[in-house]
Amino acid sequence: MSIFQVDAFTKQPFSGNPAAVVPLTQWIGDDLMQRIAMENNLSETAFFVPVAQNVARSPALAGSESSAHFHIRWFTPSVEVNLCGHATLATAYVIFNELGFTGEEIIFQSQSGRLSVTREADGKLTMDLPSWPPVRLPEYPESLITALNREILGVYQYRDLLVELEDEATVRSLQPDFKVLQQLGQSIIVTAPGLKADFVSRFFAPNLGIDEDPVTGSAHTQLIPFWGEKLRKKQLYAKQLSKRGGELWCTWMGDRVRISGHCAFFLKGAISVK
């Protein structure tokens, strides 16, 4: 099997969020995909196969078709997840730039429904993803305050817990107690208004085997409607303040969001499993 590694949401290697991408002509076993993801030891490994009408052709689908259709799945080192934005962006980059697809749009079928990625004139890739607006929780575990050791302005939830903090400096300086966060059994988004961005965030997921994810597309399906409503803006610029860092250009469209970003190619290799 071929394998690619791409840094998503950045123009420069060694920043953004690295994802492994494995093209397949047909699905392999779930256990093998999980073991490959564990061996890669990245926050996510994406696997994809052509949908039925494309099976007779190469996964590259080189040609003049305007769109290509695939099924996609994502695995952390420990579990399968229902949506991963940065690995979807990285997969589209591989299909466009390494596998020779010359069309305009890549459509993925996934556990989170239909996702699409288009290539922009400035080199960015734009994902069309579901919008997951979080709802404010009337109460939340005291252990969340213990784990973050910061004043919390509000806690919201859709898939993950979204924690609103005072400002960018607070988000940047956080040093969470990951053992306490893991006991919560949920992934945590922390966010605040940005100095040079509309909003900033970080993402902690020790429950998924990832203490901190460098740049998290799926978190922004929740952050975009949250900040879009709060700031009364449809177009937003976001930064994720992990050590590697990343930037995202976002559009809130009601029940959908668009997230744009660059990718940087890192490596191509081969997996040998006997």
DSSP state letter for 257: E
* Terminal-residue alpha carbon distance, the chain: 12
| Catalytic residue, candidates 39, 44, 80, 151 | 44
Instruction: Report the distance separating Cα 21 and Cα 126, nearest Å.
Output: 18
Give the 3-state DSSP-derived string for 124-141, with helices as H, strands as E and coil as C: CEEEEEECCCCEECCCCC
98 is catalytic: no
Q: What is the DSSP code (8-state) at residue 55? A: T
Beta bridge partners of 192: 200
- What is the distance between the alpha carbons of residues 100 and 86, in angstroms, rounded to a whole number? 20
Residue 264: phi and psi, rounded to 5, are: -125, 125
Which residues are registered as beta bridge partners of 260? 126, 249
Task: Please give the structure tokens belonging to residue 61.
Answer: 């689908």
Give just the sign of the alpha carbon dihedral 273, 41, 90, 204: positive
Residue 91: name the closest of 65, 117, 130, 123 by CA: 117
Per the rule left: phi > 0, alpha: psi between -120 and 50, beta: everything else, 200 is beta
> At CB < 8 A and 24+ separation, what contacts does 169-173 make?
171/200, 171/201, 171/202, 171/241, 172/200, 172/241
Instruction: Report, as residue numbers or ranges, the catalytic residues.
Output: 44
